[in-house]
């Protein structure tokens, strides 16, 4: 019989997570090509209405590719991590990070995606970054695709709509595996692979206006190509880096029935299935029956090749991982008030408070999610994103007193600890945005997640100086105590 575990295991990996397109900047430095993320402007009118607009149209892309374009494109500057990474990693080490999750910008390695040889200066940047992490005994965890691809792949292939993009991605992945095999032991092919449910542009590098498919079919075709690419990457990683672990990640949409009415319970079950099928395919190596029924009932005809079944079976992941920010409600009754979320709208849960961005705050849901996923897959789990976006102000004493962030994280870590006590095999926890970065959904800097404040605004004004928030010292204490001291 397994022994009861009272707290986080020895060697538990505490850390933080960022994305290249939201933090690096230096969009035209050292041979980097333009990416899909470089084409999304700051839209103050949408932000004022609490609307996340993450897409770009074909006409906008052509306009923004003009070197003389003056549009405010925040992800081209990020928080200038590209030039500050040594300073930033040193502060992560001061907090005690054992793991740092980041992504490799595809267009920094293959500027258009179609080159036969990689960009050496791009490869060297990540060599230097990973070396800096390892200097402090911080393990890198790398996402190969985090909401960006070379824009040329979008323009020529319409992103993941084309089967050719699989080969381009596997070429990129192989280059990364071979180059960093001695430095990176944790990998994820795709960040939040279920993003295509919300945005085919962000999640799939695809322009709906350029596709011959209807939106629903397009979403699942993009997903299929990504799942095949993911499985091929898993197999390749196992061959090139036998001591590495490679997993799959979703944005977890833990969904409750709005009432105990059986039709609401069934609705919640269906919503959860449509969130989990990505992990089902990656962890089990085949399409689940309920998804096959969904495709049949909705007359969705996918281009699936005969060899794809074997590819999925041979590319099963070593761990599952997810981002967790909120929970959702499902109801068959329409017309109820809604809360917007990071992926989908949801009925309002009267038992939960909401953040400044109207995201429901549900720490208990994290424990539920951890138990659900571990029961389902019996694989190790990473919590790879969790955090509170808030407006942080510098006080008269020159400090940032973010007690609200500490409270949010404390409550989630407490529930995570309960899940470990429940028997969940939890490998690590990386909070989202340990340093302030550009928001994915709104391209703001005003919406901040970090333990480290970056002095810049939504228009790139500021010194880009770094200031430690109160939460910096709190998280340092949490890590030093391995999650026991949460005061």
Nearby residues of 289 by Cβ (< 8 Å), 6 or more positions away: none
Q: 148, 192, 254, 415: which one is catalytic? A: 192
Asked if 385 is an active-site residue, the reply is yes
CA distance 400 to 394: 5
Exposure string for 175-208, b = 16+ CB within 10 A, e = fewer: bbbebbeebbbbbbbbbbbbbbbbbbbbbbbbbb
Give the β-pairing of 346-347 and 338-339: antiparallel
Identify whether the C-beta of residue 344 lies closer than 8 Å to the C-beta of residue 197.
yes
Place of tokens 């070593």: 318
Question: pLDDT digit string (tens) for 406-424?
Answer: 999 999 999 999 999 999 9
CA distance 15 to 6: 21
CA distance 204 to 197: 10
Q: How far is CA 186 from CA 93, 180, 467, in A?
A: 19, 11, 30
CA distance 70 to 63: 10
Q: 161, 254, 347, 385: which one is catalytic? A: 385
Question: pLDDT digit string (tens) for 240-282?
Answer: 999 999 999 999 999 999 999 999 999 999 999 999 999 999 9
pLDDT of the residue at 53: 86
Q: How far is CA 213 from CA 166, 197, 210, in A?
A: 19, 15, 9
Residue 48, exposed/middle/buried by CB under 10 A (0-12, 13-18, 19+)? exposed
Question: pLDDT digit string (tens) for 72-94?
Answer: 999 999 999 999 999 999 999 99
Question: pLDDT digit string (tens) for 307-350?
Answer: 999 999 999 999 999 999 999 999 988 655 565 555 566 788 99
**Any idea how long the chain is?**
487
Ordered by start, the domain boundaries in the chain are 13-480
Asked if 192 is an active-site residue, the reply is yes
Q: How far is CA 44 from CA 63, 82, 455, 460, in A?
A: 19, 26, 19, 14
Identify whether the C-beta of residue 486 lies closer than 8 Å to the C-beta of residue 410.
yes
Nearest to 387 by CA among 367, 368, 359, 364: 359
**At the topology level of CATH, where does 13-480 sit?**
TIM Barrel (3.20.20)
How high is the mean pLDDT of the chain? 96
Identify whether the C-beta of residue 326 lies closer than 8 Å to the C-beta of residue 357.
no
Going residue by residue through the chain (487 aa), what tens digit of pLDDT does each one get?
Answer: 888 999 999 999 999 999 999 999 999 999 999 999 999 999 999 887 778 888 999 999 999 999 999 999 999 999 999 999 999 999 999 999 999 999 999 999 999 999 999 999 999 999 999 999 999 999 999 999 999 999 999 999 999 999 999 999 999 999 999 999 999 999 999 999 999 999 999 999 999 999 999 999 999 999 999 999 999 999 999 999 999 999 999 999 999 999 999 999 999 999 999 999 999 999 999 999 999 999 999 999 999 999 999 999 999 999 999 999 999 999 988 655 565 555 566 788 999 999 988 899 999 999 999 999 999 999 999 999 999 999 999 999 999 999 999 999 999 999 999 999 999 999 999 999 999 999 999 999 999 999 999 999 999 999 999 999 999 999 999 999 999 999 8
Residue 419 — left, alpha, or beta (φ > 0 → left; ψ -120 to 50 → alpha)? alpha
Identify whether the C-beta of residue 78 lies closer than 8 Å to the C-beta of residue 437.
yes
Structure tokens at 406: 């500490």
Nearby residues of 279 by Cβ (< 8 Å), 6 or more positions away: 248, 250, 320, 373, 376, 377
């Amino acid at each position: 019989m397994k022994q009861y575990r009272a707290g986080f295991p020895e060697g538990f990996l505490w850390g933080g997570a960022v994305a290249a397109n939201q933090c690096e900047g230096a969009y035209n430095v050292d041979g980097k090509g333009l990416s899909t993320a470089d084409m999304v402007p700051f839209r103050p009118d949408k932000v004022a209405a609490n609307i996340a607009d993450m897409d770009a149209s074909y006409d906008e892309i052509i306009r923004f590719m003009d070197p003389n374009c003056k549009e405010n494109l925040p992800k081209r500057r990020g928080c200038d991590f590209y030039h500050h990474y040594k300073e930033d990693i040193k502060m992560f080490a001061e907090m005690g990070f054992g793991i740092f999750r980041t992504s490799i910008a595809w267009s920094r390695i293959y500027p258009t995606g179609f080159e036969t040889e990689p960009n050496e200066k791009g490869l060297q940047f990540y060599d230097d970054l990973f070396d800096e992490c390892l200097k402090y005994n911080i393990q890198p965890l790398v996402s190969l695709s985090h909401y960006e691809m070379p824009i040329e792949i979008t323009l020529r292939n319409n992103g993941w709509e084309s089967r050719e993009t699989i080969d381009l991605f596997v070429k990129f992945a192989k280059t990364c595996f071979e180059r960093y095999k001695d430095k990176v032991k944790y990998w994820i092919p795709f960040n939040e692979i279920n993003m295509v449910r919300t945005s085919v542009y962000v999640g799939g590098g695809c322009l709906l206006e350029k596709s011959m498919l209807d939106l629903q079919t397009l979403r699942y075709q993009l997903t299929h190509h990504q799942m095949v690419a993911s499985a091929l990457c898993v197999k390749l990683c196992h061959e090139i880096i036998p001591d590495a672990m490679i997993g799959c990640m979703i944005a977890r949409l833990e969904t409750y029935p709005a009432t105990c009415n059986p039709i609401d319970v069934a609705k919640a079950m269906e919503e959860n299935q449509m969130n989990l099928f990505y992990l089902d395919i990656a962890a089990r190596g085949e399409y689940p029956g309920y998804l096959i029924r969904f495709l049949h009932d909705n007359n969705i005809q996918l281009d699936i090749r005969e060899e794809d079944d074997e590819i999925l079976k041979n590319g099963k992941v070593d761990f599952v991982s997810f981002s967790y920010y909120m929970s959702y409600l499902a109801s068959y009754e329409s017309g109820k008030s809604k809360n917007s979320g990071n992926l989908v709208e949801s009925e309002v849960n009267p038992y939960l408070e909401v953040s400044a961005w109207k995201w429901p705050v549900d720490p208990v849901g994290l424990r539920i999610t951890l138990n659900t996923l571990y029961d389902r897959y019996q694989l190790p789990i990473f919590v790879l994103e969790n955090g509170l976006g808030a407006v942080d102000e510098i006080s008269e004493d020159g400090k940032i007193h973010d007690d609200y962030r500490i409270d949010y994280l404390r409550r989630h870590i407490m529930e995570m600890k309960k899940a470990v006590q429940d028997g969940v095999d939890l490998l690590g926890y990386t909070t989202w945005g340990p340093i302030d970065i550009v928001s994915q959904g709104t391209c703001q800097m005003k919406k901040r997640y970090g333990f480290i404040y970056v002095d810049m605004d939504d228009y790139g004004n500021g010194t880009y100086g770094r200031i430690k928030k109160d939460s910096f010292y709190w998280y340092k204490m949490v890590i030093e105590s391995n999650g026991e001291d949460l005061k």
